[in-house]
Structure formats: C-alpha cells, structure tokens
Chain A
Amino acid sequence: MNIKTQIVVAVIVILAFFYLGAMVRKNKIEIKYALPWGFMGCVILILDFFPGIIEEMAKISGVGVPINFIFFLGFCFLLALTFTLSVLVSDLSQKTKTLTQKIGILEEKLESKEKTEKHD
C-alpha cells in the first residue's frame, strides 16, 4: 500500500472517531451501538498501520489483490451490522405495538369509567 493512501485512510478514520465521540457525548448514539463502529475503526487503523497483515491474509485465503481482501472484510462487517439492525428494528416494532395496544385499551377503560361515573 502507498504511504499516501495510508495517511488518507488514517486521517479519515481519526476524523470519524471524533465524530463518533461527539455523537456519543451529545447522546445522539448510545455507547452500546457506538462500540461496533469504534471497533471497526480500530481494525481499519491497525490494518492501515501494518499493511503486511492484509497482504499475508490475502495470500493465505488466495485473494489475488490485497485491497480486495479489505473490501471483503468491510462487506462482511456491514452485513453483520445491518442484520443486527434489522433484528433490533423488529424488536422495537413489537414493543411499540404492545405499548400502543396497552394505551388504546387503557384509554377506553378510562372513558367508560368516566361515563358510568357521570351516570351515577
């Protein structure tokens, strides 16, 4: 890998780290969900500083061009992340459904109670 590319990647990752930190500080993203992103940043930084690792891994797995191995890793990571998000969204939508139903039924109960009290 070219030293220029290495510097560009490092700068982008470090900027991204600052952005991530700022978002956590402002409570825009929970630490729990920021962690995987931070972890990914660390991995990229390590691979950026020691390009030998990638070349070695590409050789072992039979990938011709080392950069393709990075793309492959990134792709796998994003797949895992988006899938986790889909699971999370399903969970959240279940929860909102239950809450909505509870509120609806409670409101009805309240109203029918008020009605009977007015009659009395």
Chain B
Amino acid sequence: MKKLIIIPAYNEGENLKNTIKNIQTYAPSFDYVIVNDCSKDNTRELCKTEKFHVINLPVNLGIGGAVQTGYQYAMENDYDLAVQVDGDGQHDARFLNTMADYLLENKVNMVIGSRFIEKKGFQSSGIRRLGIRFFTGLIRCLTGKKITDPTSGLRMADSEIIKMFAQNYPKDYPEPETVVSVIRKGKRVEELPVEMHERQGGVSSISPKKSIYYMIKVSLAIIIECLR
C-alpha cells in the first residue's frame, strides 16, 4: 500500500520544517512530496539543505496547479492513495491514519477532513464560516449531498480520484469545485471530523478584497460543474 502526502508550498519557508516533522512523527507510513510553487523565499534552498523530497515548479502556477502536480506525481508512481496537507501548519498529520483506515475499510473514494463536525480546534472567522455554510447549502441543493466543510484542503483520494485530478483540476480555489465534480461522477465522498490549527505563518490566499471574487467564482464553478 503506497500512500503519498502532497504538500503544496508557496513562500512557506520555515513552516515546512514543522509540517515535515509533524508528518514524520504521526504518519510515518506515508511518503511525502512538497510541491514548491516557485516560491520567492528560501523554500527551494531550505528543501535542499534539509534534504526534503521536493518538486520545484519553474513557474508559479497557483494552488490548483501545484496540487495537481502532486496528483500527477502520485499517478506516475502508482500510489494507492494521496492526501493533500497544507504547508502552513493548519493541518495535523495525526488524523491521516484515521482517514486512510476509514477510506480503505468503507471503500470510499474521497475522504475530507472537516472542522465543523465536532466543532473542535480552529474554526475560522465568522464571516468565512458564513461563506463556507453558503457553499454547503449550494452543494446540498445541487447534488443532495451534505458536505460540512467543502473548502477544507485536507482531502484524501484513492487511485481513481488521483487519476481524475491528475487529468483535470481547477487552477484557483479548487476545493469546493472538485468536491462537486467527484460527487457528480458518482464517486463516494465522506467527511471525518478533524481539528485544524490557525495558520502558523504566511498569509491566506483569500484576502478580504478577493473574497467577493472568490464567492462569485466558486459559486459559478460549482454550478457549471453541475451542468457538465
């Protein structure tokens, strides 16, 4: 059983050390690969000196392109499952084994780590939760499936989904959209409760100014995904 952790990283620098340490302590049975999305900081050098396993992208692609690179790597190297873990310390590797066991035992195609089932850990700001709840409602209306945390970046995929994502993955703000496309393909998606931390550094890709664009773009993407 080959398991891969995909860590998209853009200007995460020192955070990566903690992320890797966290993985090696709590999920030693997983391989990992950092996808360095052409960071402007010392990420590249840091990975070299620390001997981290890394894919360096020569051009900045944005989160979607970086994560997709990870799935392409997983497909080429015949991984049975791949999980996405953010490089900024928001996700905890402690949950990975539970997620993997659940995925294998229940023959689920994709498992999402949700902050909002047990409502433990960092819950994001009120306004963001409102946005997330809106997507939950929208996805429920369109697919009939309740996804409490559609924006969660902590997602585990089996080989079928790996193949699907390797071929087709949105460039920006990919999470809610891809959940819908997976559900629409008739694959099984389930959520497990996890705790997330507040990011330990860096800035969110969604600034207040971009949040309106984010809401509109993602809503449209979800609706279009349903028309495909």
Say yes or no for A108: interface residue by CB 8 A criterion. Answer: yes
0/1 per residue, B16-57, Cβ < 8 Å to A? 000000000000000001010000000000000000011111
Q: Is the interface of A mostly helix, strand, loop or mixed?
A: helix
Number of residues in B with C-beta < 8 Å to the partner?
Answer: 17
What residues of chain A lie closer than 8 Å to B76, measured between beta carbons?
105
What residues of chain A lie closer than 8 Å to B61, measured between beta carbons?
97, 100-101
Smallest Cβ-Cβ distance to B65: which chain A residue: A97
Say yes or no for A64: interface residue by CB 8 A criterion. Answer: no
Q: Is the interface of B mostly helix, strand, loop or mixed?
A: mixed
Number of interchain pairs (Cβ within 8 Å): 39
B171 near A105 with CB under 8 A, answer no
Smallest Cβ-Cβ distance to A103: which chain B residue: B58
Q: 3 tightest A-B contacts by CB?
A: A104-B57, A101-B69, A108-B55
Bound Cα distance from A105 to B61, whole angstroms: 14
B59 near A105 with CB under 8 A, answer no
A107 near B69 with CB under 8 A, answer no
What residues of chain A lie closer than 8 Å to B72, measured between beta carbons?
101, 105
B68 near A108 with CB under 8 A, answer no
Bound Cα distance from A96 to B57, whole angstroms: 11
Interface residues of B (CB under 8 A from A): 33, 35, 53-59, 61, 65, 68-69, 72-73, 76, 171
B58 near A100 with CB under 8 A, answer yes
Bound Cα distance from A105 to B53, whole angstroms: 12
Bound Cα distance from A96 to B76, whole angstroms: 20
A101 near B56 with CB under 8 A, answer no
Bound Cα distance from A119 to B96, whole angstroms: 31
CB distance from B79 to the nearest CB of A (A): 13
Interface range on chain A (Cβ under 8 Å from partner): 10 to 19
A104 near B35 with CB under 8 A, answer yes
Report if A105-B69 is in contact (Cβ < 8 Å); known contacts: A97-B61, A97-B171, A100-B61. yes
What residues of chain B lie closer than 8 Å to A103, measured between beta carbons?
57-58
A105 near B73 with CB under 8 A, answer yes
A107 near B59 with CB under 8 A, answer no
What residues of chain A lie closer than 8 Å to B68, measured between beta carbons?
97, 101
CB distance from A41 to the nearest CB of B (A): 36
Smallest Cβ-Cβ distance to B169: which chain A residue: A97
Smallest Cβ-Cβ distance to B69: which chain A residue: A101
B58 near A104 with CB under 8 A, answer yes
Q: Which of B53, B55, B171 contacts A104 (CB 8 A)?
A: B55
A105 near B65 with CB under 8 A, answer no
A100 near B55 with CB under 8 A, answer no
Known A-B contacts: A103-B58, A107-B56. Give 18 more (CB < 8 A): A96-B59, A97-B61, A97-B65, A97-B68, A100-B58, A100-B59, A100-B69, A101-B65, A101-B68, A101-B72, A104-B55, A104-B56, A104-B58, A105-B69, A105-B73, A105-B76, A107-B55, A108-B53
What residues of chain B lie closer than 8 Å to A107, measured between beta carbons?
55-56
Bound Cα distance from A100 to B56, whole angstroms: 9
What residues of chain B lie closer than 8 Å to A93, measured between beta carbons?
171
What residues of chain B lie closer than 8 Å to A105, measured between beta carbons?
55, 69, 72-73, 76
| Chain A residues numbered 63-120 whose CB sits less than 8 Å from any CB in chain B | 93, 96-97, 100-101, 103-105, 107-108
- Between A and B, 5 residue pairs with Cβ closer than 8 Å are A97-B61, A97-B65, A100-B59, A104-B55, A104-B69
